[in-house]
Amino acid sequence: MYKDKKVVFSGVQPSGVLTIGNYLGAIRSFADFSETYHCYYCVVDEHAITVRQVPADLRRRTYETLALYIACGLDPEKNTLFVQSHVSAHAELGWILDCYTMFGELSRMTQFKDKSAKNADNINAGLFTYPTLMAADILLYQSELVPVGVDQKQHLELTRDIALRFNQIYGDTFVVPDAYIPKETAKIMSLADPEKKMSKSDENENATVRILDPKDVIIRKFKRAVTDSGSEVRYAEDKPGVSNLISIYSAFTGKTVGEVEREFAGKGYGDFKLAVGEACADALAPVQAEFARLTADKAYLEDVMRKGSEAAAHDAARTMSKVRRKFGFTDLRR
């Protein structure tokens, strides 16, 4: 679609306050692409409603997620920032791709199994076909690169399969995207249970550090973080709690794992956890200040939404025109 630059697409759900896992594993790295790629960063509100939402809360968090994008360094002048439901082509292509996705493929998605277990009273069709809508999000913009967390890698593989299947039937239609997973901070784990990923929906408040948590709350959560037997600050498979804290400290300070281990050699977990909390809080302070400024200016955020959705809709229309023509829909929108 853009001959001068390759295309990057990623989206974040407005289903809760974003965590440092979202920040380190995804959003912080988004800005790195702005100069060399054409970037689409989307607030995926349509994905959020697979789980029941309070309408007023969803609306507020949509504004807040957009504000966090900008506060974390995404310049609306250099990136296309928009809300998914403002571009109808996402839902349209999602339905079309449903018809080119096999039931068995969707039934194997581990996130469907996990979310079904958590929402046993609301196992809806959208929860099942969520990965196909995600494929539509990506393929609409002919995306070459998709920053994703490790937990979304399976969905990206399905997106590639769908694109290849469609291209085989109808000829060259979609770019087949590749995943981008930051190696050092691919998966930030829970502070309460370092065997599972940090989640913004975790019911245990001490398990998750949110981007907007005040400094005293951040430090308290790190002080309560689960560690391991012994007292040595060392990155090892048999020390998941400490290893997770080392990864977080390394990501916020830019220090290597070896440098972190040497810095805290001979010191106990208490000193280390306090240092991790302070490093995290200090790094997030400017983000929080910019977020507060942005959320006080609703008109500005709506202007960003409007301009972003117009640009995204224009570009998505090119793909949809090609798709409709390929499989025989009549199209009066040319």
Of 103, 38, 36, 41, the C-alpha closest to 67 is 41
Structural domain spans, the chain: 6-181+297-327, 205-292
Could you tell me if 251 and 27 are in contact, meaning their C-beta atoms sit under 8 angstroms apart?
no
Neighbours of 181 (CB within 10 A): 18
pLDDT: which is higher, 334 or 318: 318
CA distance 189 to 237: 14
What are the catalytic residues? 115, 197, 200
Yes or no: is domain 6-181+297-327 CATH 3.40.50.970? no
Report how far residue 135's alpha carbon sits from residue 256's, in angstroms, rounded to the nearest whole number.
Answer: 35
pLDDT attached to residue 79:
96
Structure tokens at 84: 């998914």
Q: Mind listing the pLDDT tens digit for each residue in 93-116?
A: 999 999 999 998 998 887 777 777
Q: What is the mean pLDDT of residues 6-18?
A: 88
**What is the per-residue pLDDT for 182?**
66
Whether the Cβ atoms of residue 194 and residue 160 lie closer than 8 Å to each other: no
| Position 185 pLDDT exceeds 70 | no
Of the chain, the percentage scoring pLDDT greater than 90 comes to 68
- Provide the whole-model pTM: 0.88
57 sits in the region (left: phi over 0; alpha: psi -120 to 50; else beta) called alpha
Sorting pLDDT into bands at 50, 70 and 90, what band is 16? confident
Of 32 and 80, more confident:
80
pLDDT tens for each residue of 19-72:
998 888 778 878 888 888 999 999 999 999 988 899 999 999 999 999 999 999
pLDDT at 63: 97
Q: Domain 205-292 maps to which CATH number in 2.130.10.10, 3.20.20.80, 1.10.240.10, 3.40.710.10?
A: 1.10.240.10
Q: Is residue 2's pLDDT more than 70?
A: no
What the block records as the tokens of 156 is 């990206």
- Tell me the mean pLDDT in the region 284-301: 97
Question: Encoding tokens for residue 261?
Answer: 């281990």
What confidence tens digit (pLDDT) does each residue in 300-313 have? Answer: 999 999 999 999 99
Mean pLDDT of the chain: 90
